[in-house]
């Protein structure tokens, strides 16, 4: 059987409430990794499982420094020959950001699988136990490594870069927007799409000690341009604009954008629309205005990519390439 490592970060999957019918007022991350495993004796049939408790967070409180700590630990554990696969428990609120960071920074040498839950472990119909079992089953498959980090929840398996939270409270909240799952689970039987591949990570160098601040600013009818100036005044090293449509820039924002790019601050056009992305020179002259386009990334993914690109000293052209190739 494979040797699997559970890396726990908290989240609803480790949540605890006073009543078994309470699925909203609970404490996330209350239960330890060992407690989760003790309640899941069926996992012993899927591998020799050890556990590490890295954080005990509600994922709304996840910070970029946590990403760096987690990725550093995972790189070290992936390199250990005695570990065959890794499962990470995480809260659903910001899972897509952590998952995308790991998509960009982890080698594809061994399976890495994230899982989560929408109902706490104490709930009468908790979804976490089966999600965790399916994540162990997936992490025990060597073929899963070539897909890069994966997310397993609700009988479906997605690439980390394709998974987002689509509903605020439904059990099947996690899913894809522009891409479907790359695998399915039935009980602990896993089937992966044999034709699916995942490109190598875009950031393979040593991880930085910290990540620069990059803010996401929302565009809407009447949105003031001074939010750009406020972000820069508070130390933002880059900006991602979550704009209407295909990254449509309000005319009133042009002077503030020009001032930012003149200072060498990268400004990325993204969209608040769930699907489609923003292509360079599409609906706006990026070359003339010195802006970047997010490609197929969400605003949150564009932020993560730009943070890593800036930390690595990427210039304007390299930043745009990183966004398009992430």
Binding residues for substrate: 59, 92-93
Cβ-defined contacts of 68-72 (< 8 Å, 24+): 68/207, 68/208, 68/209, 68/210, 68/211, 70/7, 70/9, 70/98, 70/102, 71/101, 71/102, 71/105, 71/106, 71/207, 72/207
Cα separation of 178 and 104, whole Å?
19
**Of 9, 23, 89, 92, which residue is the catalytic one?**
92
CB 268 within 8 A of CB 240: yes
Cα separation of 27 and 36, whole Å?
15
Annotated catalytic residue 12: yes
Could you list the residues known to form a binding site, using ranges.
59, 92-93
Strands 189-192 and 112-115: unpaired
Residue 111 DSSP SS3: coil
Cα separation of 46 and 188, whole Å?
9
Provide the terminal-to-terminal Cα distance of the chain, rounded to the nearest Å. 34
* Residues of the chain by 3-state class (helix, strand, coil), percent to 5: 35, 20, 45
CB 48 within 8 A of CB 19: no
Nearest to 68 by CA among 86, 87, 54, 82: 54
**Of 12, 105, 164, 291, which residue is the catalytic one?**
12
CB 244 within 8 A of CB 272: yes
Burial class (CB in 10 A: 0-12, 13-18, 19+), 19: exposed
Which positions are catalytic? Answer: 12, 92
């Amino acid at each position: 059987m494979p040797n699997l490592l559970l890396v726990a970060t908290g989240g609803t999957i480790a949540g605890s409430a006073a009543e078994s019918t309470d699925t909203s007022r609970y404490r996330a991350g209350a239960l330890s990794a060992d407690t989760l495993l003790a309640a899941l004796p069926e996992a012993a049939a899927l591998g020799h499982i050890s556990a590490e408790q890295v954080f005990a967070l509600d994922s709304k409180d996840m910070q970029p420094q946590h990403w760096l700590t987690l990725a550093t630990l995972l790189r070290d554990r992936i390199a250990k020959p005695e570990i065959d696969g890794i499962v990470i428990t995480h809260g659903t609120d910001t899972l897509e950001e952590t998952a995308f960071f790991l998509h960009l920074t982890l080698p594809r040498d061994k399976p890495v699988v994230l899982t989560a839950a929408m109902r706490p472990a104490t709930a009468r119909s908790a979804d976490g136990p089966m999600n965790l079992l399916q994540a162990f089953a997936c992490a025990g498959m060597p073929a899963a490594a070539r897909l890069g980090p994966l997310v397993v929840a609700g009988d479906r398996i997605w690439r980390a870069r394709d998974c987002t939270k689509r509903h605020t409270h439904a059990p099947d909240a996690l899913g894809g927007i522009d891409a479907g799952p790359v695998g399915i689970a039935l009980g602990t039987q896993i089937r992966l799409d044999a034709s699916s591949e995942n490109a190598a990570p875009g950031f393979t160098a040593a991880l930085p000690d910290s990540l620069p601040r990059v803010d996401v600013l929302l565009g809407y009818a009447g949105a003031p341009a001074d939010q750009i100036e406020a972000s820069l005044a508070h130390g933002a090293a880059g900006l991602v604009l979550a704009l209407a449509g295909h990254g449509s820039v309000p005319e009133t924002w042009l002077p503030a954008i020009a001032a930012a790019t003149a200072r060498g601050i990268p400004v990325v056009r993204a969209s608040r629309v769930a699907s489609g992305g923003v292509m360079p020179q599409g609906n706006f002259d990026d070359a003339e205005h010195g802006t970047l386009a997010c490609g197929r990334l969400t605003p949150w993914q564009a932020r993560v990519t730009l943070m890593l690109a800036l930390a690595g000293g990427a210039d304007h052209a390299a930043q745009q390439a990183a966004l398009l190739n992430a």
